[in-house]
Amino acid sequence: MTTIAPRRLQPSDLTRIAAVGLRTRRMRAALSALGIAIGVASIVAVLGLSASSQAGLLAEIDRLGTNMLTVTTGQDITGKKVPLPKTAPGMISRIGPVQQVQSTGSTKAKAYRSPLVPAVNTNSLSVQAAGLGLPEALRTSVTRGRYLNAATATQPVAVLGASAARRLGFDRVYPGQRIWVGDQWFSVAGILGPATLAPEIDTSVLVGFPAAEKYLGFDGHPTTIYVRSQTERVDDVHAVLAATANPQNPSQASVSNPSETLVARAAAESALNGLFLGLGAVALLVGGVGVANTMIISVLERRSEIGLRRALGATKGHIRVQFLSEAVLLAGLGGAVGVGCGVLATVVYATAKDWAVVVPPSAWAGGVAAAVAIGAIAGLLPALRAARMQPTEALRTV
pLDDT in tens, 306-330: 677 767 667 777 777 777 887 788 8
The per-residue pLDDT for range 353-398, each reduced to its tens digit, is 887 788 888 777 877 888 888 878 877 777 777 767 776 665 555 5
Query: Per-residue pLDDT tens for 168-221?
Result: 999 999 988 999 999 999 999 999 999 988 899 999 999 999 999 999 999 999
Residue (of 157, 138, 265) closest to 202 by Cα position: 138
Residue 63, Cβ neighbours under 10 Å: how many?
9
The confidence score (pLDDT) of residue 376 equals 81
Q: Answer whether 205's CB lies under 8 Å from 157's CB.
A: no
- Report the 3 state secondary structure along 292-343: HHHHHHHHHHCHHHHHHHHHCCCCHHHHHHHHHHHHHHHHHHHHHHHHHHHH
pLDDT at 34: 80
pLDDT tens by residue, 29-81: 777 778 778 888 887 887 788 778 777 776 776 666 778 899 998 887 777 88
**Backbone φ, ψ for residue 148 (5° rounding):** -65, 150
- Reported as type and span, the H/E element at residue 242 is helix 234-245
pTM of the predicted structure, to 2 decimals: 0.59
